[in-house]
Amino acid sequence: MDHFLYRNGQLHAEDVPVAEIAAAVGTPVYIYSTATLLRHFRLFDEALDWGPHLVCYAMKAASNQAILTTLAQAGAGMDVVSGGEYARARAAGVPGDRIVFSGVGKTRAEIRTALEGGIRQFNIESEPEMEAVSDIAAAVGISAPVTIRVNPDVDAKTHAKIATGKSENKFGIPIARAREVYARAAALPGLRVVGIDVHIGSQLTQLEPFRQAYRKVADLTRALREDGHDILRLDLGGGLGIPYTRSNEAPPLPTDYGQMIREELGDLGCEIEIEPGRLIVGNAGILVSQVIYHKQGEGRDFLILDAAMNDLIRPAMYDAHHDIVPVVEPDTGVEQALFDIVGPVCETGDTFARARPMPPVGPGDLVAFRSAGAYGAVMASEYNTRALVPEVLVNGDQFAVIRQRPSFDEIIKRDSIPAWL
Ligand SMILES: *Cc1c(COP(=O)(O)O)cnc(C)c1O
């Protein structure tokens, strides 16, 4: 469910007509709904109400300070994967003890900053990283709370580029070696083992792969406790998928996910942590664009938009589908025509959709990419020297620009000319 609906023939973001924002800010532009963000965060929070838990928003999905602040004020923790994200979380007012640090290649500088600044736990991804955390913790005299990310070798049944829980993926340590690695962790100075971490992938549309992974985590919890480790927390990662189109079957709801966690892990007495990203922000954001041209090609028609792959790379990178709808509500029963919907960038990959049925839209009309909130603006670039796409946050009948579109002057001034030129 989201808060982007047609009202009086116009697509609205909550109570604000999308066309009004486009007129004020220009296009392309990302628009987020506060109500949708908070609704999704609360769904997860309530789904785990049966026991102690913390929902750590995986901020790599959308990391604008205004989004982080909205979620932080609602009580969210954060899952960060870089020193930059750690700095963002702290700047949004998230205390260190609500931040978990994930990621396969934490640098020594990042580890040190998080340790000194305060961190709930490091999710350790490898033995060399474990040694680095131990070294630094011992050197600065602060004990480092750690979980170890185990790779359960289950098939997440998602796109290969976002599956992380198979043995051939770079993530975590093989679950079969976990007891050995935990024994090493317990012997190293500076580390305090607090739990287990697992994350098997993104955009999962079934509960079964999660269930398989969590069952393995439950067995491992018992085994590690027998070995004398304190397993107090289970970090179960993120990955629950969202409906990208209304025509497919919807993925499981957070409520069902929470219930499944309870069934598999509820009797272990652990604090549950989850790291949802996409499900919190995905349907809370749209990308609004204007049609520049309708070009008639040979055997196909192109709609050329002012948004491109540099603004939303998901179709090019993951073959992702986004519903694309006109901002002015089409009449019911209107005849649709097939279009290839593309951006102006000089790459064939700059194609958002092929042979997509669309109601009549033409030059000057606005269209909205639905479900664009996650892995949208955060992956945007200035390729083709197209200004970094701006972001707007709506709350009821108010909206605010939360990231300005830079001017060409600002873009050019970021470079510097060496003295010899
Ligand atoms: C990307 C990621 C997440 C979030 O995944 P979503 O599919 O956006 O929910 C959570 N945890 C880790 C470790 C990740 O890498």
Residue 246: per-residue pLDDT: 74
Percentage of the chain modeled with pLDDT above 70:
100
Residue 368: per-residue pLDDT: 98
Segment holding 274, helix H or strand E: strand 271-274
Q: Is 278 annotated as a binding residue?
A: yes
Our mutation pick for probing the ligand 1 site, out of 275, 278, 314, 375, counting the most ligand atoms within 8 A of Cβ, is 275
Tokens of residue 104, six digits: 């396969």
Q: How far does the centroid of ligand 1 lie from the alpha carbon of residue 154, in Å? A: 16
CATH class for the domain made up of 103-274: alpha beta
Task: Average the pLDDT over 283-306 and give the result.
Answer: 96
Cβ–ligand 1 contact at 12 (below 6 Å): no
Residue 270 annotated to the active site: no
Ligand 1, residue 279: give the atom nearest the CA.
Answer: 9
Segment holding 258, helix H or strand E: helix 254-265
Q: Kindly tell me the burial class for residue 29, based on how many C-beta atoms sit within 10 Å of its own C-beta (0-12, 13-18, 19 or more).
A: buried
Task: Average the pLDDT over 301-312 and give the result.
Answer: 98
- Determine the number of helices (DSSP H) and then strands (DSSP E) in the chain: 12, 21
Tokens of residue 13, six digits: 């973001």
pLDDT tens-digit map of 195-223? 999 999 999 999 999 999 999 999 999 99
For 310-338, b/e burial (b = at least 16 CB within 10 A) is: bbbbbbbebebbbbbbbbbebeeeeeeee
Whole-angstrom distance, CA of residue 319 vs CA of residue 123:
30
Minimum mean pLDDT range among 132-146, 153-167, 386-400: 153-167
Q: Is 275 annotated as a binding residue?
A: yes
pLDDT of residue 144 exceeding 80, the answer is yes
Cα–chain-centroid distance for residue 395? 21
Residue 151: per-residue pLDDT: 95
pLDDT tens-digit map of 82-121? 999 999 999 999 999 999 999 999 999 999 999 999 999 9
pLDDT tens-digit map of 22-68? 999 999 999 999 999 999 999 999 999 999 999 999 999 999 999 99
Q: For residues 275 and 288, is the Cβ–Cβ distance under 8 A?
A: no
Whole-angstrom distance, CA of residue 421 vs CA of residue 411:
20
pLDDT of residue 168 exceeding 80, the answer is no
Strand-pair category, 29-33 with 391-395: parallel
Cβ–ligand 1 contact at 277 (below 6 Å): yes
Whole-angstrom distance, CA of residue 89 vs CA of residue 191:
23
For 204-241, b/e burial (b = at least 16 CB within 10 A) is: bbebebbbbbbebbbebbeebeeeebebbbbbbbbbbb
Q: What residue has token string 């198979």?
A: 166
Average pLDDT of the chain, as a whole number: 96
Query: Considering Cα of 105, then 111, then 117, then 121, what sign does the dihedral take?
Result: positive
Q: Considering all CA atoms of the chain, what is the largest pairwise distance in Å, rounded to the nearest integer?
A: 70
pLDDT of residue 236 exceeding 90, the answer is yes
Q: Is 211 annotated as a binding residue?
A: no
Q: Would you say the pTM of this structure is higher than 0.75? A: yes
Q: How far does the centroid of ligand 1 lie from the alpha carbon of residue 224, in Å? A: 25
Domain chopping of the chain, boundaries: 4-31+282-413, 103-274
Cβ–ligand 1 contact at 61 (below 6 Å): yes
pLDDT of residue 248 exceeding 80, the answer is no
Tell me which fold the domain 4-31+282-413 belongs to. Lyase, Ornithine Decarboxylase; Chain A, domain 1 (2.40.37)
Cβ–ligand 1 contact at 239 (below 6 Å): yes
pLDDT tens-digit map of 345-396? 999 899 999 999 999 999 999 999 999 999 999 999 999 999 999 999 999 9
Residue 250: per-residue pLDDT: 86
Q: Kindly tell me the burial class for residue 292, based on how many C-beta atoms sit within 10 Å of its own C-beta (0-12, 13-18, 19 or more).
A: middle
Q: Is 383 annotated as a binding residue?
A: no
With cut-offs at 50, 70 and 90, classify the pLDDT of residue 249: confident
Which residues, including other chains, have CB under 8 Å from residue 267's CB and lie 6 or more apart?
Answer: none
Q: What residue has token string 């279009």?
A: 339
Residue 299: per-residue pLDDT: 87
Q: Cα angle at 165 between 159 and 167, to 5 degrees?
A: 110
Q: How far does the centroid of ligand 1 lie from the alpha carbon of residue 149, in Å? A: 13
Cβ–ligand 1 contact at 149 (below 6 Å): no
Q: Is 276 annotated as a binding residue?
A: yes
Percentage of the chain modeled with pLDDT above 90:
92
Minimum mean pLDDT range among 157-161, 265-269, 297-301: 157-161
Ligand 1, residue 123: give the atom nearest the CA.
Answer: 13
Residue 167: per-residue pLDDT: 77
Q: For residues 264 and 216, is the Cβ–Cβ distance under 8 A?
A: no
Whole-angstrom distance, CA of residue 365 vs CA of residue 312:
19
Minimum mean pLDDT range among 119-133, 156-170, 224-238, 340-354: 156-170
pLDDT tens-digit map of 172-182? 999 999 999 99
Three-state secondary structure readout of 67-135? HHHHHHHCCCEEEECCHHHHHHHHHCCCCHHHEEECCCCCCHHHHHHHHHHCCCEEEECCHHHHHHHHH
CA distances from 366 to 17, 192, 244, 325, 377 (A): 12, 54, 20, 9, 19
DSSP-derived 3-state class of residue 218:
helix
Residue 162: per-residue pLDDT: 80
Q: Which one is catalytic: 1, 346, 417, 419?
A: 346
